[in-house]
Amino acid sequence: MPMWIILGVCAAVFVLVVAVAGSRGVFDGGMGQDEPDLPRADRLPAQPRAADLDDVRFTPVLWGYRPAEVDRTMDVLRERIAQLEAQASAPGASAVPGASAAPGTPSAAPGAPTDA
C-alpha cells in the first residue's frame, strides 16, 4: 500500500511540474508572439537569376514555412518572369543575348554602338 502512495505523489509532482513549465512557455518552441511575420530582405535580389534560387531559405515554422516569406519570393519571381516574357515577346527579341533576330542575319560586331 505505501508503494501506491509514493507513486501517486510522484505522478502528482510530475503533473504539477509539467503544468508550471507549460504556463511559463517552456514548450512553445523558437517562435515567440512578438516576432513579426515579415520576410527577410535578403531572400532574392531585385533581378534574380536561376542560380539565386539555390540560396533561398525560408524560416521553418510549425506547419511549413512563413507565408509572408514565401509570398514575397513568389512576387519577386513573378515580376522577373513577366519581365523576361515581355522581352521575349518584343519584336526582334532573341532567346540568346547577342544572337541575331532572324537566321542568316548577322549580329552587330563586338564593340559596335547599340541603340540603348
Range of the domain at 78: 37-89
Left if phi > 0, otherwise alpha if psi is -120 to 50, otherwise beta: which for 48?
Answer: beta
For residue 99, give the C-alpha cell: 544572337
pLDDT (tens digit, 0 to 9) for every residue of the chain, 116 residues total? 688 899 999 999 999 999 988 887 777 766 555 555 555 545 677 788 888 777 777 777 788 887 888 888 888 889 989 999 998 888 876 655 555 454 544 555 455 555 54
Q: Considering its fold, how many domains does the chain have in total?
A: 1
* pTM for this entry: 0.43
Residue 15 in any domain: the answer is no
Residue 65 in any domain: the answer is yes
